Chain A
Amino acid sequence: MAEPVIAFDGVWKKFRRGEHHDSLRDLIPSLAKRLTSRKREQPLDADEFWVLRNVSFEVKPGQAMGIIGPNGAGKSTALKVLTRILKPTRGQIRVRGRVGALIELAAGFHPDLTGRENIFLQGAIMGMRRDAIRRRFDEIVDFAGIPDFIDTPVKRYSSGMNARLGFAIAAHLDPEVLLIDEVLAVGDFTFQQKCYARLEEFRREGIPIAFVSHNMQAIASLCDQVMLLRPAQDPIVGDVPDVLAEYVASRSAAADPRLNVIASSLRDGRSGRMVAGPITPGTPLDLDLDLVATGEMPRAGLLIQIVRSDGLIVFTGMSTLDGGREIDLRASDQLNARIAFVANVLRGTYIINIQLVDSMRQWPAAAVNSIQSFVVNETTRIAGCAELSPTYDLAVRSAAAESHATVKIR
């Protein structure tokens, strides 16, 4: 097996909460403190916290590691430790080879310089050689799609052009290790497709990638492994579907005080077995719920919502609108419900939210988010979110001969 190119070994990083004073007035107290408390590194001070806790992972050549987690979980800090901007409080980091970081792509741009001048400046900041930039200059301009504006100062650029130029420069780096921090949210749809295509290319070249993103679809399509960073907890490292499901489940909102969930399960409708691993599109699913109302809920309907991990609401349905009868719940009444549905959805991680809705007022009486989740894994569809089970009927009418052939594909 190949040597890992990126290796984190028990990395911890401490940050300080609250205001950091920068005036000379603070020099004397801080010096005094340093003298009295010598080299006492392990325990946290009252105003300190661990932003990275015991992070260990490896990325081997040709692998891509996704890094996910809620805001403030330390994703960007992990990348900054990797690029040596920050030094870990404890632990070891090894990175072999030239690091190309797709972080803050336009950070080095100066508004008064032209696109051309900024390409050389930003390229140098990212560690490119001048002759390498000169060699790939036309490609960069072409990729950014701004040949007409290359001699215009960057301050006259639209924010989209700015970001595109930034990515174009980064995309033509020649890195041995690639770090990406949520930079693909730039430009229009076509440009984003171009960016992902370029990343795929990097990956095919065998360049190891560490990729921070909130876009679970992007993580799922690019990465082999995912690390989930959690505040105040050790991170989880594992295969993409497992960790994504864990993440999505962990994001569940605080339990609704009006509703207690006694039990919930998600089963395969054909085998009756609990859904554990990824399923295929079209799998029938049964969601079983045992709920107890803490208060009065008259004339209620049960609503189910399926949300993909990137926030796309795939489906919302309600029992009363689908012909079910209204139910009246009094305090401490138990509701046993089974919702059967077919997962006609494509590749992705999905969460299930449920609500009890007051059907008179169409108003949610109680909600439980992320009560269950499932992962769909399929490889045949190129893109999309719903399984429409198409059939193809193609006919070729030859201009030369009168004969024609009909091809039917199911």
Chain B
Amino acid sequence: MSLTADLKEMLTEQLHYRELLFEMTRRDLLIRYKQTIMGFGWAVFMPLVNTAVFSVIFTRVAPIGTEVPYPLFAYCGLLTWNFTASSLRAAVSSLTSNAGLVTKIYFPREIFPFSAMLVGLVDLAVGSSVLVALMAWYRVPPSKFIVLLPVVVCVHAMFTGAVALFVAMANLFYRDVKYIFEVVITLWMFATSVLYPVRMLGGKLGTVLRLNPMTAIIDAYRDVIFGRHAPDWTSLGAAAALSAVALLWAWIAFHRSEFEFAERI
């Protein structure tokens, strides 16, 4: 099939099944809300605990210099990183854990990784209320570039979506992916400027780490939310271009192998 026909089919299907996407997202949120006492509290609890731990390490044990108070720096990094990490964690097994649906009922399978992402997005929104509170507490004013926040979220979502589609599909064909993923996601966090500014690093290591699109995205979040200077346009632009291409590639690859899912799951 031609590329344009594929693209057209992908988009019309998503449009036709958009209610299912929201319904699946609702399902996952409802279940968490019902099964746990804290409900949405978990969306802020984990980044807060990590913020506390790393604040002790990086302010008392091995202090590092950041433009804003370290807890604010770390919480912003952890909250936004958490969107990627939790979306991908849910996406990686989203197809295999819904095997009953995949083998029995037809609808676009992208719904599974996409709804995993929407759940992550809701958590991001819930967690950002604490970010606002922290900014008020430390009296850090928002940057004048805050209007660009939707752009950054968009790039972030595109990139996460691309990886989510890829890992969900890969785990269906090769179940090792789930285990490899756990290792990779941990290493990846430390290779991203979540807990320390990668900009601090020089030399070869710094150059390599700056190739990581997640660093560009998380740095851009900090710049547009409470930065004192303009975001790094080059790296954000590169991340945006890469995310768009990756999303397109992953989505088409996913769509084209969809018909094999029921047989291979």
A62 CB, min distance to chain B CBs, angstroms: 24
Chain-B contact segment, one of A109-117, A187-195, A240-248, A292-300: A109-117
Assess whether B19 is in contact with A125, with CB atoms less than 8 Å apart.
no
Proximity bits, B13-37, A CB within 8 Å = 1, else 0: 0001101100110110011001100
Chain B residues with CB under 8 A of A24: 174, 176-177
Assess whether A108 is in contact with B105, with CB atoms less than 8 Å apart.
yes
From A16, which residue of chain B is reached at the shortest CB distance? B263
A24-B176, A27-B174, A113-B27 in contact; A85/B34 too (CB < 8 A)?
no
Cβ of B249 < 8 Å from any Cβ of A? no
- Bound Cα distance from A125 to B23, whole angstroms: 9
Cβ of B63 < 8 Å from any Cβ of A? no
B27 contact from A80, A107, A121, Cβ within 8 A: A121
A29 CB, min distance to chain B CBs, angstroms: 13
From A83, which residue of chain B is reached at the shortest CB distance? B106
Assess whether B104 is in contact with A20, with CB atoms less than 8 Å apart.
no
A107 contact from B34, B105, B175, Cβ within 8 A: B105
Cβ of B100 < 8 Å from any Cβ of A? yes
Interface set, chain B 110-168, CB cutoff 8 A to A = none
Assess whether B173 is in contact with A22, with CB atoms less than 8 Å apart.
yes
- Bound Cα distance from A87 to B35, whole angstroms: 38
The binding surface of chain B is classed by DSSP as helix
A381 CB, min distance to chain B CBs, angstroms: 37
- Bound Cα distance from A121 to B107, whole angstroms: 13
- Bound Cα distance from A40 to B175, whole angstroms: 28
Chain A residues with CB under 8 A of B103: 80, 85
Chain A residues with CB under 8 A of B100: 104, 107
- Bound Cα distance from A104 to B100, whole angstroms: 9
Assess whether A22 is in contact with B30, with CB atoms less than 8 Å apart.
no
Chain B residues with CB under 8 A of A120: 23
Assess whether B35 is in contact with A103, with CB atoms less than 8 Å apart.
no
Cβ of B264 < 8 Å from any Cβ of A? yes
Proximity bits, B170-187, A CB within 8 Å = 1, else 0: 000111110000000000
Q: How large is the interface on A (under 10, 10 to 19, 20 to 34, 35 or more residues)?
A: 20 to 34
- Bound Cα distance from A24 to B180, whole angstroms: 11
B253 CB, min distance to chain A CBs, angstroms: 15
Interface set, chain A 70-110, CB cutoff 8 A to B = 80, 83-87, 99, 101, 103-104, 107-108, 110
Q: How large is the interface on B (under 10, 10 to 19, 20 to 34, 35 or more residues)?
A: 20 to 34
Cβ of A325 < 8 Å from any Cβ of B? no
Assess whether A86 is in contact with B104, with CB atoms less than 8 Å apart.
no
A20-B264, A22-B175, A23-B175 in contact; A110/B31 too (CB < 8 A)?
yes
A22-B174, A86-B259, A120-B23 in contact; A125/B30 too (CB < 8 A)?
no
- Bound Cα distance from A112 to B23, whole angstroms: 15
From B175, which residue of chain A is reached at the shortest CB distance? A22
Chain B residues with CB under 8 A of A85: 103-106, 259, 262
Assess whether A104 is in contact with B31, with CB atoms less than 8 Å apart.
no
Assess whether A112 is in contact with B20, with CB atoms less than 8 Å apart.
no
Assess whether A124 is in contact with B104, with CB atoms less than 8 Å apart.
no
Residues of A in contact with B (beta carbons under 8 Å apart): 15, 20, 22-27, 80, 83-87, 99, 101, 103-104, 107-108, 110, 112-113, 117, 120-121, 124-127, 129-130
Given contacts A26-B174, A27-B174, 7 further A-B contacts (CB under 8 A): A83-B106, A87-B260, A103-B105, A108-B105, A121-B23, A126-B105, A127-B107
Residues of B in contact with A (beta carbons under 8 Å apart): 16-17, 19-20, 23-24, 26-27, 30-31, 34-35, 100-101, 103-107, 173-177, 259-260, 262-264
